[in-house]
Structure 1
Amino acid sequence: MMFSKESIPFAPSLIESMRSLGYSFESAIADIVDNSISANANKIDIKVSLGNKPYVIIFDNGCGMNKSELEEAMRYGSKNPLEKRAETDLGRFGLGLKSASLSQCRKLIVVSKKDGQISCYSWDLDYIIKNASWSMIGYTNQEVKLFPEIEMFNDVETGTYVLLEQFDRIEESTNDLHKTLTNKIDSMINHLSLVFHRFLERKVEISVNNKKIDGRDPFLSYHKGTQIKRSQNVNINGFNIVVKPYILPHLNKLTLKDIEKVGSKESLRNEQGFYIYRNERLIIWGTWFRLERKDELSKLARVMVDIPSDLDYMWNIDIKKSSANLPDIIKRNLYNCVIEAVGGSEAVHTYRGRKTKSTDINHIWERIEVRDNCYEYRVNRDIPQLKILEASLNLKQIKYLNEVITQLEEGFPITSLYVDVAKGKVVEQSAEDEERIEELYTQVKEQVEYAKENGMDYKVIAKAFISTEPYCNYNNIINKIKGVYEIE
């Protein structure tokens, strides 16, 4: 007859194996911060000591836990991933606090304050190995007072303190623990500023060693040059997914601060794609889920996708909350957003600085279709700069000029240019450079004056200049030339 028998995993083996779930240092700390935000904390202090016995503390002013609640929170698998979660709950498997912490260190201590009472428990890997059991360590209030920076509780009615000690794996991987931890802390700050940017922008303050972290908005939504496309709502099994494409401004319109927000010039290309948020927490970004390939022209495209925690099972979100799979059921809906976003990004590059609705712009370079949707680029021989020059040359000199221009066209280093642009190594003139604008105005004025002195129709030429690149891009130049030469 069938019967049941409970089989309890051997604690030392399982808990050591769970340290290898793939957490990075920064993703582990982010997982702990999730718990603070889920506890409605609006202030989270991360303290890092890089002394002989380094430690990391994550302290929050959230709702805190009493003794029984803390015991439950410290239990592995304390929540069923299939249970319905509150909208503010960033957890999923009931494993994050333990698995994330112990992936980086051998000793996790959690102290919590609620209803005026302090409770404390610890998972110590060496203690578990010694006792060969799932045994936590409890601490008295007197013992708790000996923990580093525990006095932070004096300033809050409720809150939780997480202490990580004994970073064995990091120590074993480096000859310079101080330098390695410093680098990891820098990466952690950058990671937290991105993953929690929507919280940091509105309601939560996170600081590291008393230095406040600013949110890193990957969409540059504050920038006047960012194009925010229409939102789309996708209903799946009664739950709403919100999709919103963004097109970032061209690189030459970004300040150093803007570039820091998106990470770097290289990040512009590498981090294009979907940005998947679960309850406003960023879980995966910089991928098109194979709906589109990354290339130079699509690098300004970003698509924000807000998913509710109710659909976790469909997205296959992992324990670390750092990867997900795109469900087939919404691929068709998202593909239309990809087309819109990528098309917008390409337009920023292709038509940057041009009045695309006008047919009266003289572009310096003409894009000419030759065959099979392929193109070549030729210098526009009708721009006024060349027309004035040709008027001063004889037929033989004009022939030589055209030969030189043709050689320049044929020798155009398009492959090298593509590589340099892809790496963000091309320096472009800023549209806000006043000296450059004045220089361009002087060029136009000198050439129009030359035409006037040599009996040409200078008003026609002046009008041609203000509809020709690069002069047509600057209203100051257009207005000045119209005023000086009385052009309508």
Structure 2
Amino acid sequence: MFNKESIPFAPMLIESMRSLGYSFQSAIADLIDNSISAGATRIDIRLLPTENPYLIILDNGCGMNSSEIEEAMRYGSKNPLDERKKDDLGRFGLGLKSASLSQCRKLTVVSKKDNTMSSYSWDLDYIAQQEAWLLQGYSKEEINELPEINLLDGIKNGTYILLQNFDRIKESTNDLNTTLTKSMDDTIEHLSLVFHRFLTSGLDIYVNNSKIEDKDPFLLTNKKTQFKREQKFSINGSNITVKPYILPHISALTKEDIKKVGGKERLRNEQGFYVYRNKRLIIWGTWFKLGRKEELSKLARVKVDIPNDLDYMWNIDIKKSSAKLPDIIKRNLYNCVEQSIFSSENVHKYRGRKEANKDISYIWERNNIRGEIEYKINRDIPQLKLLQESLNDKELKVLESLLEKLEESLPINALYVDACNGKVKDDNSNDTEELYADVMEQIEYAKIQGMDYKMLLKAFLKTEPYCNNKELTKKIQEVLENE
């Protein structure tokens, strides 16, 4: 037996590595991971329309010297099995190269450390021409010729990444600049969610001098968001934290809330688990087959924090855009999923009432008949009692027939869909004076009919929507006391 080194043919392998499945958004996010791992507090992304468009990512991280850049540019520069720093967002030693070259044919890195600049570049056309793994180094004069390199002037340490020659995007469009601009708009949305926890804890990301605002999938600032009990458990000596949240019903969301979650259409699609690796969002909007995406469960979100030393268990890929729930963790999450979905359903079912209250007369009664739910109009509400007292037997039969027809024709399916989509007008903020005038008008009619109007007043105190207005109930109590 003998050994012989077999070196991969550079042009073929490096072209093959471009097909790992990066989207434009995931590629940029992977590059930003490096900046965060380098301790950056500000990251600038530059993409301006030109005849030959380019993209720049600049950070104020710790920077690299010449040998460190060369190592960072080498494929497989880190062993994925090595133990990482707890805040390290990398794993495979491929992100910088594979993410960049998945989108373009030339990657140039300039880094500044202790006010000294160094630079290296991967140029796929040059590699194809030379048929060798040739990394190109730049002299100081060549560095100064790079576009917008003066961006590094104002910082002592930092890194500048330049992407050029977007061949694959160019081949798929008739207008490269327009397509790149649209891709960057989508990327801004992506980054605002993936890095939202960093964006609220000291990191600023700018695109063409406009600051990216964070998304908040849990709507933590909304007072009606429900915070469920946090759970912690250990797997192979590493801690995993799970915390469910239940969003408010869509009718209780402000325009700012809807913007924070990415729009109404995302409410249903992005329910489920939100898995974070060192605060960086990896995968979201899935129940990992522990539950199903339903309209009534769309308000449930479960935040899962995992450390980077469990990457192998979650099967996190190079792009850090997919993961698989380990079987060993599933049993710890079943109860969490069940509780979250149940709580989300209750927000829809009992919007406006946390649970049925025996002391309140609801206009619509929800009855459980052998496991089937039916809705009936409450015949004991004071408005109907007042009407019934003024009708003869024949008229009462007509009224009862009308009420039954209303109950039978209640458009349950349409109401369900419209309510889940937040399209049902739900205005419980009736003016106190209008409600009071309504009550007193009916009381005057009761007096004319010789009815027990005091009992009727007491009935209003227990009937929705009147009983929900504290100022109104106080005024009714005063009328009773005066009478």
TM range (shorter): over 0.9
C-alpha distance in 2 between matches for 1:90 and 1:442 = 64
C-alpha distance in 2 between matches for 1:438 and 1:31 = 59
| Contact 1:353 1:473 (C-alpha < 8 Å) held by counterparts | no
C-alpha distance in 2 between matches for 1:441 and 1:278 = 56
Count of equivalent residues: 482
- Listed one character per residue, the Cα deviations across residues 15-40 of structure 1 (whole Å, up to 9, x for unaligned) are 11221111111111111110000000
Equivalence for 1:284? 283
Structure 2 residue 459 is matched with structure 1 residue 464: yes
| Range moving further from structure 2, 377-386 or 114-123 | 377-386
Structure 2 residue 41 is matched with structure 1 residue 42: yes
Query: Cα distance, 1:425 vs. partner?
Result: 5.3
Equivalence for 1:100? 99
Query: Cα distance, 1:231 vs. partner?
Result: 0.7
Equivalence for 2:343? 344
Equivalence for 2:409? 411
Equivalence for 1:455? 450
- Residue 414 to residue 357, structure 1, CA distance change in 2 (3 Å): closer
Pairing partner for 1:482 from 470, 473, 477:
477
C-alpha distance in 2 between matches for 1:126 and 1:436 = 73
C-alpha distance in 1 between matches for 2:86 and 2:156 = 24
Q: Residue 451 of structure 1: SS of its match in structure 2?
A: helix
- Listed one character per residue, the Cα deviations across residues 393-442 of structure 1 (whole Å, up to 9, x for unaligned) are 222222222212222222222223333344x25232355x5x66664454
| Contact 2:250 2:422 (C-alpha < 8 Å) held by counterparts | no
| Contact 1:355 1:361 (C-alpha < 8 Å) held by counterparts | no
- Residue 376 to residue 35, structure 1, CA distance change in 2 (3 Å): same
Query: Cα distance, 1:62 vs. partner?
Result: 0.2
- Residue 114 to residue 465, structure 1, CA distance change in 2 (3 Å): same
Query: Cα distance, 1:445 vs. partner?
Result: 4.2
Unmatched runs of 5 consecutive residues or more in structure 2: none
Query: Cα distance, 1:289 vs. partner?
Result: 0.5
C-alpha distance in 1 between matches for 2:427 and 2:153 = 52
Query: Cα distance, 1:250 vs. partner?
Result: 1.1
- Listed one character per residue, the Cα deviations across residues 103-129 of structure 1 (whole Å, up to 9, x for unaligned) are 111111111000221011111111111
Unmatched runs of 5 consecutive residues or more in structure 1: none
- Residue 265 to residue 476, structure 1, CA distance change in 2 (3 Å): farther
C-alpha distance in 2 between matches for 1:436 and 1:145 = 69
With the length of structure 2 as denominator, give the TM-score of the two structures. 0.95
C-alpha distance in 2 between matches for 1:108 and 1:438 = 70
Query: Cα distance, 1:195 vs. partner?
Result: 0.5
Equivalence for 1:391? 389
Q: Residue 47 of structure 2: SS of its match in structure 1?
A: strand
Structure 2 residue 358 is matched with structure 1 residue 382: no
- Residue 359 to residue 99, structure 1, CA distance change in 2 (3 Å): same
Query: Cα distance, 1:377 vs. partner?
Result: 1.9
After the TM superposition, which residues 320-335 of structure 1 pair with which residues of structure 2 at under 5 Å, given as runs?
Answer: 320-335=319-334
After the TM superposition, which residues 47-446 of structure 1 pair with which residues of structure 2 at under 5 Å, given as runs?
Answer: 47-356=46-355, 358-371=357-370, 373-422=371-420, 424=421, 426-430=423-427, 433=429, 439-446=434-441
C-alpha distance in 1 between matches for 2:451 and 2:168 = 79
| Contact 1:354 1:473 (C-alpha < 8 Å) held by counterparts | no
C-alpha distance in 2 between matches for 1:241 and 1:195 = 19
| Paired amino acid for 2:404 | T
Equivalence for 2:14? 15
- Supply the RMSD in Å over aligned alpha carbons: 1.9
| Contact 1:241 1:307 (C-alpha < 8 Å) held by counterparts | yes
Q: Residue 148 of structure 1: SS of its match in structure 2?
A: coil
| Paired amino acid for 1:227 | Q
| Paired amino acid for 1:48 | L
- Residue 438 to residue 75, structure 1, CA distance change in 2 (3 Å): farther
C-alpha distance in 2 between matches for 1:449 and 1:107 = 85
| Identity between Structure 1 and Structure 2 (%) | 64
| Contact 2:57 2:162 (C-alpha < 8 Å) held by counterparts | yes
Query: Cα distance, 1:279 vs. partner?
Result: 0.2
C-alpha distance in 1 between matches for 2:405 and 2:356 = 32
Q: Residue 40 of structure 2: SS of its match in structure 1?
A: coil
- Residue 177 to residue 475, structure 1, CA distance change in 2 (3 Å): farther
- Listed one character per residue, the Cα deviations across residues 258-287 of structure 1 (whole Å, up to 9, x for unaligned) are 011111112111111000000000000010
| Paired amino acid for 2:408 | E
| Range moving further from structure 2, 14-23 or 214-223 | 14-23
